[in-house]
A = this chain, B = another copy of it.
Amino acid sequence: MADARRYHKLPDPFAMKRGGLLHGAHVAYETWGRLNANADNAILILTGLSPSAHAASSEDDPSPGWWEAMLGPGKPIDTRRWHVICVNALGSDKGSTGPASIDPATGEPYRLGFPELTLEDVANAAHEVVKGLGIERLACLIGCSMGGMAALGYMLQHPGCVRAHISVDTAPQAQPFAIAIRSLQREAIRLDRNWNEGRYTDETYPERGMSIARKLGVITYRSAMEWNGRFARIRLDPEERPGDPFGFEFEVESYLQAHARRFIRHFDPNCYLYLSRASDWFDIAEYGEGSVLEGLRRICVEQALVIGVSTDILFPLEQQEQIAEGLQAAGARVQFVALDSPQGHDAFLVDIEHYGPAIGGFLDMLHDGL
């Protein structure tokens, strides 16, 4: 299979925020477009919990990426103009070092021996990639969902390294509803006997726990409003229904099942646990003596676009508004875009009709200022 993935070695040791050290670690990334001579046209994208670095197709890997409609020549993030980098999060299993990687000290997978992971570590690892590419200052840092929190951590830890910021469907700290959902996802995995304190194999794999975790994810990534229009009370064909008692009967149930099937074996359960907990831990108030707004005020960027949707139950619009207010108070020129896309948290992945012009317009304006 074609692969556009490249790897960047992290400093050895790589020091983690909560005290751990990684040896021989690396992160996977992909790039699109060309870095210009001034090295001032670079955009870094930090992803949500599960996507790889493959945000869009390229010559090296023509398969569609997770943000295919947003990124490419002539698209809102126009790769004829920008040099775009997307990094697979440290701790993930899509090429970067994480709990599923081999621990050089033991020759075995880290599993739960992986050090405690924070989104600041995810940000710092991505920053190493950017530095390695010879970029001192990003033209724009884009963070989506979990990556939006990591992006805030990036800007706080590397002041002066980001000119403009696009914050997409994210939050300045995890609130209790999101923590509760993620805690329950982790519990479903941990309660699966096959999880076995992280020591599962391909044969004894925590499929049941991963299925529940993923379905709960999908339920909270979308919205009730969208599903009323999409599924209503449509039943499955009787022949498609499983024979077991209490088996699936409604289309929404088989939709969730299809999502779970695609995910279960394609994301490492321990990596999921680490990234999920890192999301709970993120709190920009730690940088502002307990105040979210104070934390945000310590971020220094020239301009920002903050975008979110009213149907997002995981990262509610009030939290995007907080980010916009805080960055404005910090002196940035801020555009705040509140959309009513029916798709919920996942809107940034599917409602390109509205996210595209907002992000493309902001980047156009930024480009004119280069």
A119 within 8 A of B: no
Residues of chain B with a CB closer than 8 A to A349's CB: none
A358 to chain B, nearest CB (A): 25
Known: A256-B180, A283-B233. A112 touches B216 (CB 8 A): no
Q: Are A212 and B224 in contact (CB under 8 A)?
A: no
Are A184 and B246 within 8 A (Cβ)?
A: no
Instruction: Determine if A191 and B208 form an interchain contact, defined as CB atoms under 8 angstroms apart.
Output: yes
| Cross-chain contact B212 with A176 (CB below 8 angstroms) | no
**Range, interface on chain A:** 35 or more
B180 near A233: Cβ-Cβ < 8 Å:
no
Contacts of A250 in B (CB 8 A): 176, 179, 183, 280
Q: Is B191 within 8 A of A224, CB to CB?
A: no
Given A175-B228, A183-B248: 5 more A-B contacts, CB < 8 Å: A112-B245, A175-B233, A184-B216, A191-B208, A212-B212
Point out the residues of chain B lying under 8 angstroms from A190, CB to CB. 244, 246
In the bound complex, CA of A193 to CA of B273 (Å): 22
**Contact for A316 among B186, B224, B283, CB less than 8 A:** B224
* CB-nearest residue of chain B to A208: B191
Residues from chain B with a CB closer than 8 A to the CB of A215 are 180, 184, 187
List the interface of chain A (C-beta within 8 A of B): 112, 173-177, 179-181, 183-184, 186-188, 190-191, 193, 197-198, 208, 211-212, 215-216, 219, 223-224, 227-228, 230-233, 244-246, 248-253, 256, 273, 277, 280, 283, 285, 313, 316
On chain B, the residues within 8 Å of A180 by CB distance are 215, 219, 227, 252-253, 256
Residues of chain B within 8 A of A176, CB atoms compared = 224, 227-228, 230-233, 250-252
Contacting residues, chain B, for A177 (C-beta < 8 A): 219, 223-224, 227-228
- Which residues in B have their C-beta under 8 angstroms from that of A252? 176, 179-180, 183
| Chain B residues in 8 Å Cβ range of A193 | 193
Q: Is the CB of A187 within 8 A of B175?
A: no
CA A14 to CA B329, docked complex, whole Å: 68
**Does B256 lie within 8 Å of A184, measured CB to CB?**
yes
Residues from chain B with a CB closer than 8 A to the CB of A280 are 249-250
21 intermolecular pairs with C-beta atoms under 8 Å apart: A173-B233, A174-B233, A176-B224, A176-B228, A176-B233, A176-B250, A176-B252, A179-B252, A180-B219, A180-B227, A183-B248, A183-B252, A183-B253, A184-B212, A184-B216, A186-B246, A191-B211, A216-B216, A233-B283, A246-B277, A313-B313
